[in-house]
Amino acid sequence: MGGYDLSPGAVFAGYTIENGIGVGGMGSVYVARHPNLPRRVALKLLHKNLTSDDYVRARFEFEADHAARLEHPNIVAVYDRGRHRNQLWISMQYVAGTDVAQLVRDQVLPPDRALHIAYEVARGLDYAHSAGVFHRDVKPANILLADAPYPGESERVLLTDFGIAKALDDTVHLTETGMLVATLRYAAPEQIDGAEVDHRTDQYSLACTLFHLVTGAPPYPGPNPSAIMNGHLNAPVPRASAFRPGLPAAFDQVLAKGLAKKRADRYDSCVDMVDAARAALAAAEPDQTVPHRVPRTFDLDATDPDVTAFAPNSQALRVVLTDDSVLLREGIARLLQDEGIDVVGQAGDATALLELVAEHRPDVAVVDIRMPPTHTVEGIEAAITIRRDYPDTGVLLLSQYVETENVMNLLDGGAGSLGYLLKDRVADVDEFVDALNRVADGGSAIDPDLVGRLVSRPHRGHRPLDELSAREREVLQLMAEGRSNKAISASLFLGERTVEAHVRSIFVKLELAPEPEDHRRVLAVLTHLRAAPPPVSRPHPDL
């Protein structure tokens, strides 16, 4: 069983393991048989290498203690906890079914089903709040859908993983680390700021989740953590109706209140928010047609109904993974498989990589830049071969550190279907999966650290970049990180019109079309960063 320490039939703390059902950042989850009762449970084990971490151990134990206080039909029940062979464990209610993250991976839900799920979660949250417990990590992956217990019954909706819940009487010690443990895509502004949270924090995360259910993506998807955080903190609330035609304006107003930056401007309870959303839909009788899933680009100016959108392949992403470190490679493979990505092959060197690509024709080849036998150019040469011989396969390069020249050689062949990330970015699952999807869809995903190096590095000869002012270089770097004009304005403390003028000037000086495009326009700019002859002089347009 890849990624699991226990095999079927093994006995742990009296529980007999049937199979593994999940591996996460804190531990593994198994289906197991109770030692004394005819009952199956979900057995969660803390990773052994985390057992010595006082913070993580306390957080894991609080998951059991706080969740065990909660008895509600919409909350996964906790049965017991303990320590076995110096490893912490919790036994919980086993839920046969799926989670909402899997459900919405390839579809947008009908509004009535989305509201049913949100309402059931809201009931559980309001109950937990009344008991003094905040969840603090409400997101689709933590919402389980149980099979109907009887014919004719509807599916059951249960909220799980109170592992980062913070009770009102929680000790101060756990707050001193300053760790932000909520998933950024659904995190409230006060969580990002490290400020005090309350029940309205969970309400904000539920509003983000509802937005995702009805549109196919969270309100601030973002290409990287900084862009996502800027969205929650500064960007206007996008209108769901801009991405789901037929939703009424009143529904947008409900989400705008639920996603208010200030807690005081939100709903008093989670059920109040969902009830308001139901009333808005009932009054308008919107079109219930369910479109194909339509994830959006990550521009934070997503309040325009004409905002760019694209429809990806509905099949699971197929990936070939290459790295000479078996431990790292298998870890990445487990991470991708947990996200529903099909890892069709793994290799430890460039020769095996090319054989796998030829055999499987994957959507993306994840390539370690430095591989055996010389650990110099094997990865780059393999990437060049893949781009030349298998144009339908995108390439995502992974590197231990920024390698400017190697990546520039690849960018000379065009930025489409190409990605480059530092290996430490893989730890951010959302960012890594987003990069894979962008590369698979013909776009690009360039690490912000590389962008900064490209924009500011010393160079010989004249390049179009030489024409840019210092401020324009700052704007260009933020553009390349996926920032919208609004986000750039907030970061540099400039007016939006000033930023727009800088953007137009950059495109003129780099001899690119001045009309704004999506984020990939910046990656096209990167192909102009190599030395080039002076541009032909021409009148500068009136900006």
pLDDT band for 66, please (50, 70, 90 cuts). confident
pLDDT at 250 over 90: yes
Question: Among 15-19, 59-63, 213-217, 405-409, which stretch is predicted with the lowest mean pLDDT?
Answer: 405-409
pLDDT of residue 500: 80
The answer to whether the beta carbons of residues 307 and 301 sit under 8 Å apart is yes
Query: pLDDT higher for 51 or 540?
Result: 51
Q: Domains of the chain: which residue ranges?
A: 11-93, 97-284, 318-445, 454-526
**Angle in degrees, CA 400, 363, 321, rounded to 5:** 35
The answer to whether the beta carbons of residues 229 and 182 sit under 8 Å apart is no
Percent of the chain scored above 70 by pLDDT? Answer: 71
Whole-Å CA distances, 300 to 207, 222, 519: 17, 8, 11
Residue 54 three-state SS:
helix
The answer to whether the beta carbons of residues 418 and 384 sit under 8 Å apart is no
pLDDT at 415 over 90: no
- Can you name the residues that pair with 365 across neighbouring β-strands? 320, 395
pLDDT at 294 over 70: no
Rounded mean pLDDT, 2-25: 82
Going by their DSSP bridges, the two strands 418-422 and 394-399 should be labelled as: parallel
pLDDT at 33 over 60: yes
- Can you name the residues that pair with 314 across neighbouring β-strands? none
Write down the CATH number for the domain with range 454-526: 1.10.10.10
Instruction: Please tell me the pTM assigned to this model.
Output: 0.54
Exposure letters 280-307 (e unless 16+ CB within 10 A, then b): bbeeeebeeeeeebebbbbbbebeeeeb
pLDDT of residue 522: 47
Query: pLDDT higher for 19 or 48?
Result: 19
Query: pLDDT higher for 363 or 53?
Result: 363
Question: Among 141-150, 286-295, 373-382, 406-415, which stretch is predicted with the lowest mean pLDDT?
Answer: 286-295
Rounded mean pLDDT, 388-415: 73
Percent of the chain scored above 90 by pLDDT? Answer: 29
**Angle in degrees, CA 157, 159, 165, rounded to 5:** 170
What's the 3-state SS for 102-138? Answer: HHCCCECCCHHHHHHHHHHHHHHHHHHHHCCEECCCC
Q: Does domain 318-445 have CATH number 3.40.50.2300?
A: yes
pLDDT of residue 314: 40
- Can you name the residues that pair with 80 across neighbouring β-strands? 91
Eight-state DSSP code of residue 537? P
Question: Among 12-16, 86-90, 218-222, 401-405, which stretch is predicted with the lowest mean pLDDT?
Answer: 401-405
- Show Cβ contacts of residue 518 under 8 Å, excluding neighbours closer than 6 positions: 297, 299, 308
pLDDT of residue 401: 64
Rounded mean pLDDT, 233-256: 91
pLDDT at 323 over 50: yes
| Tokens representing residue 284 in the block | 């308008």
Question: Among 43-57, 170-184, 276-290, 359-373, which stretch is predicted with the lowest mean pLDDT?
Answer: 170-184
pLDDT of residue 543: 32
The answer to whether the beta carbons of residues 26 and 163 sit under 8 Å apart is yes
Sign of CA dihedral 20, 146, 318, 226: negative
pLDDT band for 411, please (50, 70, 90 cuts). low
What phi and psi values does residue 469 have, to the nearest 5 degrees?
-75, 170
DSSP assignment of 356-423 equals: HHHHH--SEEEEESS-TTTSSSHHHHHHHHHHHH-TTSEEEEEESS--HHHHHHHHTT-STTEEEEEG
The answer to whether the beta carbons of residues 224 and 481 sit under 8 Å apart is yes
- How far the first Cα of the chain sits from its last, in Å, is 61
Range with the largest mean pLDDT of 199-213, 442-456, 457-471, 499-513: 199-213
pLDDT at 480 over 70: no
The answer to whether the beta carbons of residues 270 and 202 sit under 8 Å apart is yes
pLDDT at 398 over 90: no
Determine how many CB atoms are found less than 10 A away from the CB of residue 259. Answer: 25
**Angle in degrees, CA 70, 72, 75, rounded to 5:** 80
pLDDT of residue 473: 78
Condensed to tens digits (0 to 9), the pLDDT of residues 129-164 reads: 999 888 888 999 899 998 776 676 678 999 987 754
Condensed to tens digits (0 to 9), the pLDDT of residues 175-229 reads: 333 334 347 899 999 988 888 899 999 999 999 999 999 998 899 987 777 788 8
Q: Does domain 11-93 have CATH number 3.40.50.1820?
A: no
Rounded mean pLDDT, 52-62: 70
Write down the CATH number for the domain with range 97-284: 1.10.510.10
Please tell me the distance from the alpha carbon of residue 126 to that of residue 199, in angstroms, as a whole number: 8
510-516 long-range contacts (CB < 8 A, ≥24 apart) are 510/464, 510/465, 510/467, 510/468, 511/464, 511/535, 514/541, 516/485
pLDDT band for 310, please (50, 70, 90 cuts). very low
Nearest partner of 139 among 165, 155, 159, 119, judged by Cα: 159
pLDDT, averaged across the chain:
76
- Can you name the residues that pair with 11 across neighbouring β-strands? 16
What phi and psi values does residue 419 have, to the nearest 5 degrees?
-135, 155
Rounded mean pLDDT, 387-413: 75
Query: pLDDT higher for 352 or 540?
Result: 352
The answer to whether the beta carbons of residues 76 and 92 sit under 8 Å apart is yes
Active site residues: 137
Nearest partner of 134 among 160, 92, 162, 172, judged by Cα: 162
Residue 98 three-state SS:
strand
- Tally of residues, the chain: 543
pLDDT band for 14, please (50, 70, 90 cuts). very high
Q: Residues marked as binding for ATP?
A: 44
- Can you name the residues that pair with 292 across neighbouring β-strands? 107
pLDDT of residue 516: 40
